[in-house]
Amino acid sequence: MSNTETICALSTAQGQGAIAIIRLSGEKSIEIADRIFRAKKKSKKIISQKSFTLLFGQIIENNNPIDDVLVSVFRSPHSFTGENSVEISCHGSIIIQQKILQLLVRSGAKIAKPGEFTQRAFLNGKMDLSQAEAVADLIAARSEASHKVALHQMRGGFSGDLQNLRKQLLTFISMVELELDFSEEDVEFADRKQLSVLIEIIDKDIKKLNESFRLGNVIKNGIPVAIVGEPNVGKSTLLNTLLNEEKALVSHIAGTTRDAIEDLISISGVLFRIIDTAGIRQSNDFVENLGIERTMQKIDSAQIVILLTVPDANGMEFIIMANEILKKNKKLIVVFNKMDIKKTLVPDIFASDFKTVNISAKTGENIEELIQEILILSEIDSINENDTIITNLRHFEALSLAQKATERVKLGLQNNISGDFLAQDIREIMHYLGEITGEITTDEILGNIFKNFCIGK
Amino acid sequence: MNTKYDVIVIGAGHAGSEAAAAAANLGVKTLLITMDMTKIAQMSCNPAIGGIAKGQIVREIDALGGYTGIVSDITAIQFRMLNLSKGPAMWSPRVQSDRMKFTYEWRHQLEKLSNLDFWQDTAVSLIFDKNKVVGVNTSMGLSFSSKTVILTNGTFLNGLMHIGDVKLKGGRIAEPSSYGISEQIKEYEIPVGRMKTGTPARIDGRSIDFSQLIEQKGDENPHYFSFLPNIKNTMRQRSCFITHTNEETHDILRTGFEFSPLFNGIIKGIGPRYCPSIEDKIVTFSTRDAHQLFLEPEGEYTEEYYINGFSSSLPLEIQYKALRKMKGLKNAKIFRPGYAIEYDYFDPSLLNLTLESKKIENLYFAGQVNGTTGYEEAAAQGMMAGINAALKVKEREEFILRRDQAYIGVLIDDLINKGVDEPYRMFTSRAEFRILLRQDNADIRLTPLSHAIGLASEQRMRIAEEREIYVNRTRDFISNFSIEPERINPQLEAINSAPLNQKRKISTLLLRPEVSIFFLKDYIAEFNQLYQTFEHSNNSVFEQAEILIKYDGYINREKVIADKLQRLDYVRIPDDFIYDDLESLSTEARQKLVKHRPKTIGQASRIPGVSPSDINVLLVFMGR
């Protein structure tokens, strides 16, 4: 079987760093690591180490030391993958990383395919499907918030929530099935009021999970922010100031059009996606170049719009623009730049409709205040590590179908429809929830019935 | 005397009779061995066929070309369609039958089959050639050879009855059990378990005060089991009666607990939780002060009544006293007491979906020997074993029904993949695709499949096809015909339904819960004309058309899920797949998979102990 092979890979980010970690997993990982390692205390071998211990020593090639390293040992099944694992912490030079990997491969390990460690963890029953997906998210997490969500899911928080829901559904369906399969006997009928209360709870739980997707999505992919304004109001200066202030440029994302580039910045642990910064970067007058239409597209795809202007700008045009943005249901911050030259007195009519801030992009004055406003509008200041948030499209789709079935149950109860239809919809909910964790509904229903009700002619 | 056969069926209960009929009708030389030719398809317990989920099975047996439905229809003394107030998936036909006529009629049907021989004798051992069964020895010293053998011994294998501390060996009261075969089978590493079931006392109708009881009549418009329109019932129709136990009854029963073989450990077999004895009910649900009982007539003219719900193995004296404390039964006389019976069963997870043993080639198991209860469950298995044994003889492809095709598919799939830990009875909740497996469409689901293997007759096929055509015509009419408000509004108002304000398609009316298809037929002459054009099955055609229109949304949603899940049933696991190397499987799953050797991922997913993550592991290894 292919999964008894020992695999290795660099576990930390590619490139130069202070330290790097190389992970080995597979039956022979300890043996293989021993072949290229010499402990400081020469008598010590990794193989004789207890699980979860560290050993200091050197990586050796033809008796020549390559690097001083720390080796951690995880014995099966108590490791991430469930297999024997070794982690080698070495210095972060690319050359050292390469060298160690080459030595490992020469000693019998194979370079892991992308996701192979997670796949093994999944195959070894260390995690269910939703947890495995969370690992992928965790690795890709580009902000603290996103990291929290993925971590919670990986620990099984999400699966736990679904288990809970299933339990409630099981109670519900047992009550309904009882009056169906045993209608000829003098069994008590399921109390419709009790069912209504139960389905309300279930419905609320599913809705909550489902609604968290919008939030989950922005946490994972960043909250889209558009900076718009006339030429020469300081858009690129503001962008650079934001980037410098936070020293947190995550990446440039190449978009679908040749010049569309997005900047991801993490501000206070929240990921923001500054839309279409190409325009800002390449020329300061893209509104002039590309016209109002392009600006509007940009606004459409944003959740937060920063409308940037300068003192003494054309007030009328400006107000029209602000109204357009508000009409699109976007959150708006009007930013008056160049306060170092002249501070703008905000007209009263603005105050209630949107936030206004005076800043100087050039000197950085009041940037902190702007950042606070952005964070407030992002509405994710309150992510709790224990909140379950849906970030995965597959989960979202399954939950949406489950929610539709829940609606039908509620409606059915109102219209007093027969229990078999209620049961069918409940089974559908259970089916779709099961699709998320990979759990398939079995006939626990009858077991529950026999346990709790007196039946039998 | 001919002693060479293609199929030998041992036992002529519900399973054995259907097995023999199916094999003979498929054109192979068949022998039915029974201890007693007067007890063919004997109803050992209550004199009723069908009921919730079971009625659907009988409709399926009929659609496939079996006889349980026909015999029940002809001998019924009460017809009832249960659950009519619920959705169409729940409608379940049930009849009370005349116990003696039922047996008589079954024998009559079997004797019409030219490929079927009978032999009255006890099978004492099987003849093996290594891992193959090749024949049967009987107590008269005869040896029959056969290409296949079907075991349908019911409760007769090492059967032991209990009435208080009285123990009687036998398969039914006054009928001997059979020994030897269980012991032979054990040697092939097939675990033999013990199960227990019970039956209530039968009482004398002349001693019952019916004025004290609640009468339960049959339906005025009976629904027959059989799809064949020429089946006629001419029996006198009779009522059932309802009474209840009370605290006094319970107190008397409690005094007998120390003599109860159920409680003092003498009975070791596992009983069914859904069919508990009266003593079980009192103990398990001690807070209830009454339990409902049904008094069911045993036949067209007999005075004997069966007390459904009062199954017991307490001493006769206690049963007698307890009975007399109930309403209407103050002077009740007992014809014969209730008893519990223990019998052998074989672990059904060692069978293939054809019901052929995985350990002994050419040997099939059907009915109670597989750990099920119920005539209907037994008959269904018998039929499938008979079909598959005959197909094997003819070297043709096996005949297997899927879970989304038939309750019979659910039944066998459950037995094989889940095994049994108590007597298995069918419930509608076991079928995940309940709304697809309705009693009204069993012929459309199954008759073409059976016809294709040469079992369902030409006549049956033609009727199923015509019925489908009639249903489609009815649906077309409903979706195309519009009606003016003045023609229907008075009638609508009479049933408190909102009047129309313009000409509308009648399909919109039919979607209203309070409007039935027969309401439309009664008030729309054109629709009634269509109804009159059908040559048969008029009512059932209308009922089905109504179901398909009213419950379209539910039916379609279920189909979507069925199609999705069914894909797993098409992912085949190679026969020689080695699980031992798959360390990623849980230990329990690996053991279960090695034991069951499922043929598909879908089957594997239904084995208890095989978790979803195990299934995901398998899917990965199957390259999915």
Q: What pLDDT score does A259 carry?
A: 43
| Interface contact A183-B83, CB threshold 8 A | yes
| Interface contact A129-B89, CB threshold 8 A | no
Least confident of A211-225, A354-368, B21-35, B188-202: A211-225
Residue B613 forms contact with A (CB below 8 Å) = yes
Sequence-distant (≥ 6) Cβ neighbours of residue B146 within 8 angstroms: B4, B5, B6, B7, B8, B31, B133, B134, B135, B136
Phi, psi of B37 (to 5 degrees): -65, -15
| Interface contact A428-B561, CB threshold 8 A | yes
Q: What pLDDT score does A64 carry?
A: 86
* Nearest Cα residue in chain A from B605: A440
Residue B248 or residue B573, greater confidence? B248
Q: What pLDDT score does B345 carry?
A: 94
Could you check whether the bond before residue A77 is cis, i.e. omega within 30 degrees of 0?
yes
Q: In the structure, what pLDDT confidence band is assigned to residue B557 with cuts at 50, 70 and 90?
A: confident
Residue pLDDT, tens place only, B356-369: 999 999 999 999 99
What is the residue-wise DSSP string for A299-330?
HHT-SEEEEEE-TT--HHHHHHHHHHHHHTT-
Residue B567 forms contact with A (CB below 8 Å) = no
Least confident of A392-401, B329-338, B465-474: A392-401
Which residues numbered 345-374 in A keep a CB inside 8 Å of some CB on B? none
| Interface contact A442-B427, CB threshold 8 A | no
What is the residue-wise DSSP string for B587-598?
HHHHHHHHHH--
Q: What average pLDDT values come out for chain A (457 residues) when binned by 10 residues?
A: 70 75 92 92 88 92 89 90 91 83 84 72 69 62 60 63 81 86 77 87 84 70 81 78 60 42 70 66 44 71 84 70 80 85 68 78 84 78 57 75 92 88 89 70 51 51
Residue B308 forms contact with A (CB below 8 Å) = yes
Fold (topology level) of B4-193+343-452? FAD/NAD(P)-binding domain (3.50.50)
Summarize the confidence of residues B410-420 as an average pLDDT. 93
Cβ contacts (< 8 Å) between B582 and chain A: which residues?
1
Half-sphere exposure of residue A444, counting CA atoms within 13 Å on the CB side? 15
* Residue extents of the structural domains in chain B: 4-193+343-452, 458-555, 571-621
Residue pLDDT, tens place only, B427-448: 998 998 899 999 999 999 999 9
| Interface contact B274-A450, CB threshold 8 A | yes
Least Cα separation, residue B273 to chain A (angstroms)? 7
Residue B284 forms contact with A (CB below 8 Å) = yes
Cβ contacts (< 8 Å) between B274 and chain A: which residues?
182, 450, 455-456
| Interface contact A124-B429, CB threshold 8 A | no
Phi, psi of B34 (to 5 degrees): -140, 150
Q: In the structure, what pLDDT confidence band is assigned to residue B395 with cuts at 50, 70 and 90?
A: very high
Residues of chain B with pLDDT > 90: what percent?
75
* Nearest Cα residue in chain B from A129: B613
| Interface contact B584-A443, CB threshold 8 A | no
Q: What does the alpha-carbon distance between residue B151 and residue B187 come to, in Å, rounded to a whole number?
A: 16
Residue pLDDT, tens place only, B160-173: 999 888 899 988 87
SS3 A163: helix
- Partner residue facing A437 (CB), from B551, B586, B612: B612
> Which of the following CATH numbers is that of domain B571-621: 1.10.150.570, 1.10.1060.10, 3.90.1150.10, 2.60.40.10?
1.10.150.570
Which domains does chain A show, CATH number per domain?
A: 2-126 (3.30.1360.120), 157-215+390-452 (1.20.120.430), 222-378 (3.40.50.300)
Which residues numbered 582-611 in B keep a CB inside 8 Å of some CB on A? 582-584, 586, 605-606, 608, 611
Least Cα separation, residue A3 to chain B (angstroms)? 9
Q: In the structure, what pLDDT confidence band is assigned to residue B372 with cuts at 50, 70 and 90?
A: very high
Q: What is the Cα gyration radius of chain B?
A: 26
Least Cα separation, residue B430 to chain A (angstroms)? 7
Q: What does the alpha-carbon distance between residue B234 and residue B223 come to, in Å, rounded to a whole number?
A: 14
| Interface contact A446-B82, CB threshold 8 A | no
Least Cα separation, residue B148 to chain A (angstroms)? 34
What is the residue-wise DSSP string for B196-253?
EEEE--EEEGGG--GGGSEEE---SSPPPS-S-TT----PPP--EEEEE--HHHHHHH
Residue pLDDT, tens place only, B278-290: 998 888 888 888 9
Fold (topology level) of B458-555? Arc Repressor Mutant, subunit A (1.10.10)
Which of A133, A181, A397 is the best substitution to test chain B (most B C-beta atoms within 10 A)? A181
Q: Is the ipTM of this complex over 0.85?
A: no
Q: Does the predicted model carry a pTM greater than 0.90? A: no
Least Cα separation, residue B551 to chain A (angstroms)? 9
Q: What does the alpha-carbon distance between residue A261 and residue B513 come to, in Å, rounded to a whole number?
A: 58
Compute the residue count for chain A: 457
Residue pLDDT, tens place only, B69-121: 999 999 999 999 999 989 999 999 999 999 999 999 999 999 999 999 999 99
What is the residue-wise DSSP string for B349-373?
GGB-TTSBBSSSBTEEE-GGGGTB-
Summarize the confidence of residues B549-565 as an average pLDDT. 86
Q: What pLDDT score does B517 carry?
A: 96
| Interface contact B605-A181, CB threshold 8 A | no
